[in-house]
Amino acid sequence: MNKPWGLTHGLLLVPLVGASDTLVGALVLWLAWTLTLCCHGLAMGLVRKRLAAAQRLVASLVLAASLTTCTDLVIQAWALEWYRPLSLYMGWIALSCVALEHAGFFTESRLPGRLRLAGVFGLLMISLGAVRELIGSGLPLALLAPGGFILLGLLLAARQAWTAAKSPSTLEETPRP
Amino acid sequence: MKNPVGVAILILLIGLGSGVTYFTHLGTAGRIEAQQQALANRTLLDVLPIDRYDNQPLAHPVFTASVTLAHSTLLGGYLATRSGQPSAVLLRSQALGYEGSIELLVAIDPQGRLLGVKTLRQAETPGLGAAIAGWPNAWLQTFTGKSRQAPDDSGWALKKDQGQFDQLAGATVTSRAVLQAVHDALRYFDEHQAQLTGVPANE
């Protein structure tokens, strides 16, 4: 990734730390996010060329809001038990869609780029969810937001160490996930 | 805007979005309602042993307007019956904890003994006061079997306040709030037994 994705990718931190305290919760949120982002990207792809720049933002807002509301309602209807702790983060999905659209994520990155973002985010969500659920019963800190931050840091450090150990020559250019 | 096609597409999108959202809402509203009811039933009723009732207690409210007590507020009361005989009264109580309000469900048998207390909602300090959450809960079980008469009013306090109950370590305010709410509920039951269970108190 060549562009500075600071803000849009920083937004992913919100659910990464907040919604990953149980494995199933993390999985549900990730699935909802991937699905909504996919539909949003497809629908925007259909109309983007015919819209002026200002209209694009409005279209993206409308799409993201309706898609997220529908996903929200469907999750409520079929998985209310898992919806409760996630309700706060459902609105964030719409924000994430609009921010990614605004930053040009859908126009600039082709399929591999999208899959990569979804894959990395999903992997982090699921591993964080699993680790936090596993040690949360013995160590309540792991279930809180600060504990989530620390674990995320440890996870990234472990990955960094692993990559460095595997190929010491490319240490300088280890990509940031 | 100098782009009539774009405006048309926008209007179409807005219409489509609202329409789809509206129909999804229509389609799922009934199911969401049912799910919420089922979830509420499940979380409420695990405070009672399953063989203790054979009715739908939540469909039998004994009062609906909230009642303000000395240290807490009763938000609702339900009657559980077994073969037509009252077997338990469930009181939803709200008290002020350390961080915010705590909602408890207090189950009392017709003789005025406590069957169980369950925390329905709390926002206490994680690791300290939040130990009142979770089910079954070891600390809340220390109240089981107690009534308004045993121990007497002076016994219904934390050991720190010359009572007879242990407190949660590091969470005096939370423990005191829960204890007082439970005591309030028992006192209310004692004073309104006939009204709550539908049978006169046996003196």
A42–chain B Cβ distance below 8 A for any pair: no
Mean pLDDT, residues B48-59:
80
Looking at the predicted structure, is the pLDDT value of residue B201 above 50?
no
Q: How confident is the model at residue B1 (pLDDT cuts 50, 70, 90)?
A: low
49-88 in chain A: CB under 8 A from chain B: 50-52, 54-55, 58-59, 62-63, 65-66, 69-70, 73-74, 76-78, 80-81
Nearest-CB residue to A70 (from B20, B35, B126):
B20
Q: Tell which of B1, B16, B35, B36 to mutate to test the A interface (max A CBs under 10 Å).
A: B35
Candidates A66, A87, A98, A143: best to mutate against B (most CBs of B within 10 A) is A66
Residue of B nearest to A137 (CA): B127
Cβ pair A143:B14 closer than 8 A: no
Locate the chain A residue with the closest alpha carbon to B126. A140
> Can you give the pLDDT at residue B22?
94
Lowest mean pLDDT among A46-50, B5-9, B38-42: B38-42
Average pLDDT, stretch B89-114? 89
Confirm whether pTM is higher than 0.80: no
Q: Quick one: pLDDT at residue A106?
A: 79
pLDDT at A168: 60
What is the DSSP code string of chain A?
Answer: --S--HHHHHHTHHHHHHS-SSHHHHHHHHHHHHHHHHHHHHHHHHHGGGS-HHHHHHHHHHHHHHHHHHHHHHHHHH-HHHHHHHHHHHHHHHHHHHHHHHTTHHHHS-HHHHHHHHHHHHHHHHHHHHHHHHHHTT-GGGGSHHHHHHHHHHHHHHHHHHHHHH-GGGGGGPPP-
pLDDT (0 to 100) of residue A4 = 54
* Chain B CA closest to residue A79: B35
Residue B103 clears pLDDT 80, i.e. is over it:
yes
* Contact: B24, A70; criterion CB under 8 Å: yes
Question: Mean pLDDT of residues grouped by 10 in chain A (177 residues)?
Answer: 62 85 90 92 86 87 93 90 86 89 78 84 90 83 84 88 74 49
The percent of residues in chain B predicted with pLDDT above 90, rounded, is: 18
Inter-chain touch A52–B9, beta carbons under 8 Å? no
CB A50 to CB B32 under 8 A? no
Q: Note the pLDDT tens digit of each residue in B137-194.
A: 888 888 888 888 878 888 888 888 888 888 888 888 889 999 999 999 999 998 888 8
Contact A81 B39 (CB under 8 A): yes
